[in-house]
A = this chain, B = another copy of it.
Amino acid sequence: MPYTYEYPRPALTVDCVVFGLEAGELKVLLIERDLEPFKGSWALPGGFVNMDETLEQAALRELQEETGLRDLYLEQLYTFGQVDRDPRGRTVSVAYYALVNPKGLMLHASSDARQARWFPVSQIRGSSGPRLAFDHEKILEVALRRLRGKVRYEPIGFELLPTKFTLTQLQSLYETVLERELDKRNFRKKLLSMKILIELEERQQDVAHRAARLYRFDESRYRRLMRSGFVFEL
């Protein structure tokens, strides 16, 4: 190979902050490490980048290996390069964040993880939960800030819900993520006026009160609107 660069190189990893919504709470997926360093600690799923895969491929592979998750909304978050962030030596980590609907998902730990589990984000941040390995608490902070920012001007929140959802579920998603209450009538008016939801004939099942109408996010419609200058907002 010509012009090869021969100086020492930092190691390169990816880490994934996977958010999910469960019981009206925002949760994050953690694994219990089965390898040193931080063996037995909880950490974000992630690992080393191979020479023949892109960063995103590495993130997806590690997620699959350590938690069993596949096919999710994934976006690059930030790259963390503090010199001492890994006791094994210089390691730079490209962080991704992902949104999934945990309902009905099977977690399946393997590889370097003893188990994978959902933790309420508030527990970790409030330190009533486990302390995370490496600088993963900091990565979580950055991811949370990004999620809060992004959810307001891009319709990514839908990734956290089932395909079919009620407007109340959607509203409560926003209330959870943004940590503030929204007015029911105004919220509905706003969302319906955007014309990016498909009103289904179906309704909620098995609830002990009037069953709510179900909706689906109309992605292709959204894309078309985008091209003509529409911007989703709150």
Q: Which residues does A use to contact B, with CB under 8 Å?
A: 1-5, 7-12, 36-37, 48-56, 76, 78-79, 81-83, 87-92, 94
Q: Would B79 and A94 count as touching, CB distance under 8 A?
A: yes
Chain B residues, CB < 8 A from A3: 36-37, 87-88
Q: Would B55 and A88 count as touching, CB distance under 8 A?
A: no
Q: Would A55 and B81 count as touching, CB distance under 8 A?
A: yes
Q: Would A82 and B54 count as touching, CB distance under 8 A?
A: yes
* Given A9-B10, A81-B94, 19 further pairs, Cβ under 8 A: A1-B89, A2-B36, A3-B87, A5-B89, A5-B91, A8-B51, A9-B9, A10-B49, A12-B12, A49-B92, A51-B90, A52-B83, A52-B90, A53-B83, A54-B82, A54-B83, A55-B81, A76-B78, A76-B79
Chain B residues, CB < 8 A from A56: 81
Q: Would B12 and A10 count as touching, CB distance under 8 A?
A: yes
Q: Would B88 and A5 count as touching, CB distance under 8 A?
A: yes
Complex: A90 Cα to B1 Cα, angstroms: 11
Nearest B residue to A7 by beta-carbon distance? B48
Chain B residues, CB < 8 A from A89: 1, 4-5
Query: 5 A-B contacts, Cβ less than 8 Å apart?
Result: A5-B91, A9-B10, A49-B81, A55-B92, A79-B94
Nearest B residue to A53 by beta-carbon distance? B83
Nearest B residue to A80 by beta-carbon distance? B55
Chain B residues, CB < 8 A from A54: 81-83
Task: Report A82 CB to chain B, min CB distance, Å.
Answer: 6
Task: Report A116 CB to chain B, min CB distance, Å.
Answer: 22
Complex: A81 Cα to B60 Cα, angstroms: 14
Complex: A140 Cα to B88 Cα, angstroms: 34
Chain B residues, CB < 8 A from A12: 9-10, 12, 92
Chain B residues, CB < 8 A from A2: 36-37, 87-88
User: Contacts A10-B12, A12-B12, A92-B55 given: A5-B48 contact, CB under 8 Å?
Assistant: yes
Task: Report A57 CB to chain B, min CB distance, Å.
Answer: 9
